[in-house]
Amino acid sequence: MRRLLPLLLLVALPVWGQSAKPADLQPLPAVPPPPPGMEAFDAALEPQVTIIRNDKETREEFRANGKLYMVKVTPIGGAPFYLVDHKGDGNFIEAGMVGAVTKPPMWVIHSW
């Protein structure tokens, strides 16, 4: 017990010293400040996203300045893919495809 008492005092003294709060404490702001150089945020530069759900798929339409430029299509039970208007002329092609898109026919001949 005598060995434990100095150890207890050694641990307890710093705690007693920290119990006094400084008088000039200020609460933190609810929203952190923006990074330097980003103070003038323009909400018009953010894309508008419209989500459309139906029985077969979910589409997310991305617009900038009111113009549709990309669509993310997620079929039910399938992998999502993106349709992008690269030239701005209203013709959407699948992202990752460049030039003429040729899809050869594929059939399952045999499976086990």
Split the chain (112 residues) into runs of 10 and give each run's mean pLDDT. Answer: 68 64 81 74 78 94 89 90 87 73 75 81
Beta bridge partners of 16: none
Residue 87: give the domain boundaries.
44-94
How high is the pLDDT of residue 100? Answer: 60
Q: Is residue 7 part of a domain?
A: no
pTM of the model: 0.50
Identity at 53, one-letter amino acid code: R
- The reported pLDDT for the residue numbered 51 is 95
Q: Which residues pair with 60 in a beta bridge?
A: 51, 72
The token pair at 50 is 């419209």
Whole-angstrom Cα distance, residue 52 to residue 62? 11
Side chain identity at residue 8, one-letter code: L
- The pLDDT value recorded for residue 15 is 63
CATH for 89: 2.20.130.30
pLDDT value at position 13? 63
User: Is residue 78 domain-resident?
Assistant: yes
Say if 76 falls within a structural domain: yes
**Does residue 22 lie within any of the structural domains?**
no
Q: Considering its fold, how many domains does the chain have in total?
A: 1
Q: What is the pLDDT of residue 82?
A: 92
In a domain, 23, yes or no: no
